[in-house]
Amino acid sequence: MEKFGFSILKERHIDYDANDKSIAEYISEREPSFRICIECGCCTATCTTGNFTSFSLRELQILIKRGENDKVRDNIKKCMLCGKCTLVCPRGVNTRNVVTLAREAFENEIENAV
């Protein structure tokens, strides 16, 4: 059978009310610049880790804000904290600190669960 160049996507919706936004709140309280990201992707374009892997800080920040934390928990550990993303961000988001706080929040989550 001949293949066509498209496929039907699975139905998907984001339930903002049901999702856990505690990680996003933890970051926002300590690093308010997290709120002013415009999702432009400059951080991802310059990212050292992103040059070698599919790591995307832009995507991870969006997922944290949506409360889709399961997709972030392990991925966020791949960042090398080099700080290049912070230098290029047009909004002045302290992205390096955002990553550090996100890791901290996930660690607290694990500690509290024990």
Interface with ligand SF4 by CB under 6 A: which residues? 37-43, 46-50, 57-58, 79-85, 89-91, 93, 95-96, 99
46: which 2 tokens?
């310059």
C-alpha 57/C-alpha 45 separation (Å) is 9
Nearer to ligand SF4, 26 or 55 (CB): 55
Cβ distance to ligand SF4 smaller for residue 26 or 57: 57
Task: Choose between 26 and 58: whose C-beta lies nearer to ligand SF4.
Answer: 58
* Shortest distance in whole angstroms from residue 87 CB to ligand SF4: 9
Q: Which amino acid is at 87?
A: L
At its nearest, how many Å lie between ligand SF4 and the CB of residue 13?
A: 23
Q: Is 2 left (phi over 0), alpha (psi -120 to 50) or beta?
A: beta
Q: Within 10 A of 37 (CB to CB), how many other CB atoms are there?
A: 19
